[in-house]
Amino acid sequence: MRNWLLLVLCLMAALSSAEEKPYGIPNLSQVDVVIDGRVSPGEYPTRFVNSQTGMAINWVSDGQRLYVALESPAKGWAAIGFGAHKVRGTAMIIGYYDENGGGVDEHVGSWASTHRPIDKPRLIDFKTGKTDKGIVVEFVIPLELSNGQVIVPGQPMPFVLAYHAKRLSFKGRPTKKATATLILGKPEKAAREGKVQEGQ
């Protein structure tokens, strides 16, 4: 009995460790992303699907900005909050799509599942679109977030994913929510220069 209990605990720990592995963001010297509410083949160098929500994330950085395309499996709003494993305190980008084109707002998490528009948003560009089953929320933000935090190469940062199955208004609890960790890679240009210097 004790052996079985030990085995179960080990498996749970292994699964937890696997889930906590940071998702990497390529840090490139040149980014060829078009903010149009669609994800074209090869547009983003990285894409992953979160197993808890079914949401797909495409992202890349040019060392100054973060380019993101969220793909939600549902027609309601979709969101990502940077800076914490809980909604409170996160710099949140939340968007929806409708026949008029939809919209994207920048919020700050104020409590466990509540948030409000940020006083000084840093959102640079955005566009929403639709897929066969869900929506796309595509946007650009600076690495210096509106909540005062900064996405720094090599330093893990927690984030929150969420969506609502039907609701377009940004109120109410999400249908599904998950937390994970990101890590921005080292600048591509610096890495190349380093290799050249080593070879000289």
Kindly state whether residue 12 falls inside one of the protein's structural domains: no
Kindly state whether residue 35 falls inside one of the protein's structural domains: yes
Kindly state whether residue 6 falls inside one of the protein's structural domains: no
Q: Return the pLDDT at 52.
A: 95
Domain count of the chain?
Answer: 1
Kindly state whether residue 175 falls inside one of the protein's structural domains: yes
Domain that holds residue 187: 23-199
Kindly state whether residue 140 falls inside one of the protein's structural domains: yes
Element (H, E) at 23: strand 23-25
For residue 104, the domain's CATH number is: 2.60.40
Kindly state whether residue 137 falls inside one of the protein's structural domains: yes
Element (H, E) at 115: strand 115-117
| Cβ proximity of 170 and 95 under 8 Å | no
Note the pLDDT tens digit of each residue in 144-169.
998 899 999 999 999 999 999 988 87
- pLDDT category at 90 given cuts 50, 70, 90 is confident
Phi and psi at 2, nearest 5°, equal -65, -35
Kindly state whether residue 114 falls inside one of the protein's structural domains: yes
Kindly state whether residue 9 falls inside one of the protein's structural domains: no
